[in-house]
Chains A and B, each alone.
Chain A
């Protein structure tokens, strides 16, 4: 096996035994990138020289006999909506085409502290708005399993680079499914932690009350290891929660006996592909065989999730994106004689159609005379959805559903139909609205394309998710399959 094919925990074991070096790992991964990136287009920027320099420093550090962390020397891909000091950060938008942040996001700072090596910045739907990464202003990322299909989105670059072995770990961000849906499409593991578990400082905001950073990895163990490093209270983020971070590796036990798991009825009905449904039911069957108590659960408010989300997320986005005005940084239109023209032209030239659509939707939802009917009502529905989950968790340890209604769709298939694109997040959106964690793990294939199983837990129950996901993974082989590139 080549080094680039391994997981972080496998590489860590080799480094720990001095069987390899950070430089070898980085060069192996950079070599892989040079061979397959032209097919996948996962990256916005690859930090070739910086990564090699950093790897050499790490090797010196290891040679000095100092203790290494599970992330020491591990190449990590960073989604391009997370600020990296001195490294171009575009959020895949033209409006930030030349933006070099003066600071690091907290999560970036944390992996640097842990000795990891940022290998590059990955492509996304512009400002994380989309479900296919086709909304990037720069490039279309391809699904490594079938280059004619999308990798999902918005963390399409991060999911694709993990599936294609172009990085060992990758950061994603998830506002309505942007980690889990691409994880599902690309056959990798993706976790959206509880809102407040991971600092958002330095994550270019899409919808502040929903955004959450999380891991995209090759297996469940890596997700636990990666979350160990990124989780925790950050004084720079008031919405990050000051709760102790458990060692998530301790929840990696192959045992689901007597766990009560609910199968969400509404997410196996209309609109869910038959192949996907079959895979999920088989997964439920396996968990039952492993000793879990499976039961169907009805959550009637989930059907309002997408509508609620597209009012709240767009309302927050319309405000979050106001700062891109050409005054301070990023793109400024050269066609402007006065202030208003500078604003209009800068934003007209800088934002893509989906971003403009959402700014308009959100602005409308917040406008005088519409606020109560849209924004406020959506907030109330959000509470109902939250209540529905709480009710379910009074009975179940966790819930399962498909991550997405279908496997990866064809490039261009939904670009002219935003509503059908929005519906591909029907199973993931309610989780963000409720602020709870969920993980997507590979659970089968339909037409040679991966299918993801979503496991949802109550707030701060990531340990439960890891336990169930790990047990499932230990008893299946899906995660071991690799796309042919």
Chain B
């Protein structure tokens, strides 16, 4: 490959505070239009912003988790531009002096460690939402209305260094970052609903070249998949341009998920002059060390530390630990199960990343939205160990519990999922199988081990999978050799 890709990301995360960044209005999503509003967030004449302390706390928490440093003094600025969804026609945002400076996140891509630097983290207010009537967009609509419910919802912008070298790395970084934010409880991480958004600065350069190539900014990537797809398409476009001797133009491009391509939105020349200047209605933020230390204490175990612990203390395979910690609710669930019976760590983790995850994916549910509880899981695992149910039927049981939340014992007895360990009951069936499959019996006798599994399978079939495999194997061999 002739070119190297250079990517930097700008991630906007809506913070999970109860109230907006500069007024007391609720941040709740999905309320009727213009119901979570007040004089301040609708930009009435004479109003003033008052900073929500929780917003600073959340950003500091994120900054510390990303190993950044909290600025001794940061200030808000005004970013001036006219748009009807912006009631003051300026956005209050941090500019020259952000709250968090520096930091990094270490990720693993294709088994290789990767260090991604964080440039800064700053805060700003979200804008409202325009609703165009009679059409999907402004074009062709009969009228436009504005909903200010989202106006003033706190946004945290995380800017990375141009350290990312591939769309895959970008995707993994986004996944890991989302996971971290959810762990910290500062963002719900929902990309589809827009509470986590990502823009990318992309350029390519000849391998070995030191200066960066001309970059484009890619916007509108609404899922992890589209982050990867958008970047792949943009890199392909840039590569083809350079190959054919064209120059790349610095511009902002919009990704279209349906076509899988990016199209120009505005050029550098069309870029706004935002006329930033310090917001005179707010005072500088100077967090004292004591407060920062208190916030640091609220950072509970982060995914990377948890993964380490699962591997070292509970002997989980790397893959299990990795999958579990990539979903906060899943690993919280696992932690609860560990509290009940730490000896079942491996079994629990297998069940969670296997049957449980499959069920969740199929039903598009989070584990917290199913009826399964940690004690259910442990009871089922104990049932397997005690030989009460087979692995195969355990799978059915756990699905039923997730659906209904019914008592594990009841499900097992109702479904007849109890394992058959009774030798007399099994012997009858084994005798039938042996007499109906003389060829396989002969094969086994002549040393073909696989024939035994075929015969066991036949017994399983006849018992609908309820035969205790260990008892069955022993009895079967005994009967054949008789």
Interface residues of A (CB under 8 A from B): 81-83, 89, 91, 96, 99, 101-103, 105, 200-205, 207-209, 235-239, 315-316, 318-319, 322-325, 327-329, 339, 343, 363, 366-368, 371, 375
Contact = CB atoms under 8 A, between A and B. Distances in A.
A236 B281 contact: no
Contacts of A105: 46
B436 to A, nearest CB: 82
Contact of A327 (B49, B50, B146): B146
Given A238-B283, A315-B277, A319-B90, A201 B47 contact: yes
Interface in B44-60: 44-51
A360 B186 CA distance: 41
B87 interface: yes
8 contacts: A89-B45, A101-B46, A202-B46, A209-B280, A239-B48, A318-B80, A322-B89, A327-B87
A154 to B, nearest CB: 15
Nearest to A339: B84
B275 interface: yes
A373 B43 CA distance: 30
Given A363-B275, A366-B277, A200 B48 contact: yes
Given A238-B51, A325-B82, A96 B45 contact: yes
Contacts of A366: 80, 275-277
Interface string B86-104: 0111100000000000000
Contacts of B48: 200-201, 236-239
B273 interface: yes
Nearest to A127: B45
A83 B46 contact: yes
Contacts of B296: none
Given A238-B50, A319-B275, A208 B44 contact: no
Contacts of A235: 50
Contact of A102 (B44, B84, B88): B44
Interface string B23-56: 0000000000000000100111111111100000
A322 B80 contact: yes
B78 interface: yes
B131 interface: no
Contacts of A322: 80, 82, 88-90
Interface in B233-247: none
Contacts of B47: 103, 201-202
A327 B282 CA distance: 25
A203 B89 contact: no
A316 B279 CA distance: 9
Nearest to A327: B84
B84 A238 contact: no
Nearest to B42: A328
Q: Which of B51, B146, B275 has the most CB of A within 10 A?
A: B275
B97 to A, nearest CB: 14
B280 A208 contact: yes
A363 B78 CA distance: 13
Given A82-B46, A99-B45, 13 more contacts: A103-B47, A204-B46, A236-B48, A237-B48, A237-B50, A238-B283, A322-B80, A322-B88, A327-B87, A363-B275, A366-B275, A366-B277, A368-B275
B281 A103 contact: no
A103 B282 contact: no
A343 B83 CA distance: 10
B89 A323 contact: yes
A-B CB proximity, top 7 nearest: A322-B89, A366-B275, A208-B280, A209-B280, A204-B45, A202-B46, A368-B273
Nearest to B50: A238
B45 A316 contact: no
B281 A323 contact: no
B447 to A, nearest CB: 85
Contacts of B273: 367-368
A323 B280 CA distance: 16
A89 B44 CA distance: 12
Q: Which of A81, A205, A207, A238 has the most CB of B within 10 A?
A: A238
Contacts of A315: 277
B277 A319 contact: yes
Nearest to B23: A236
Q: Which of A89, A239, A324, A327 has the most CB of B within 10 A?
A: A327
Contacts of A91: 45
Interface string B210-226: 00000000000000000
Contacts of A204: 45-46
Nearest to A210: B280
Nearest to A234: B48
A225 B91 CA distance: 39
A101 B277 contact: no
B280 A316 contact: yes
Nearest to B39: A103
A105 B45 CA distance: 10
A323 B50 contact: no
Contact of A205 (B46, B84, B282, B283): B46
A371 to B, nearest CB: 8
Given A209-B280, A238-B281, A363-B275, A319 B80 contact: yes
B158 to A, nearest CB: 25
Contacts of B80: 318-319, 322, 366
Contacts of B280: 207-209, 239, 316
A197 to B, nearest CB: 15
Given A316-B280, A322-B80, A101 B45 contact: yes
Nearest to A338: B138
Nearest to B51: A238
B78 to A, nearest CB: 5
Q: Which of A82, A237, A328 has the most CB of B within 10 A?
A: A328
Contacts of B82: 322, 325, 343
Contacts of A324: 45
Contacts of A103: 39, 44, 47
A96 B43 CA distance: 14
Given A322-B80, A327-B146, A339-B84, A83 B281 contact: no
Contacts of A200: 48
Contacts of B277: 315-316, 319, 366, 371, 375
A375 B43 CA distance: 25
Contact of B49 (A99, A238, A325, A368): A238
B45 A83 contact: yes
Nearest to A241: B283
A99 B44 CA distance: 10
Nearest to B43: A323
Nearest to A91: B45
Given A208-B281, A325-B82, A366-B275, A203 B46 contact: yes
Contacts of A371: 275, 277
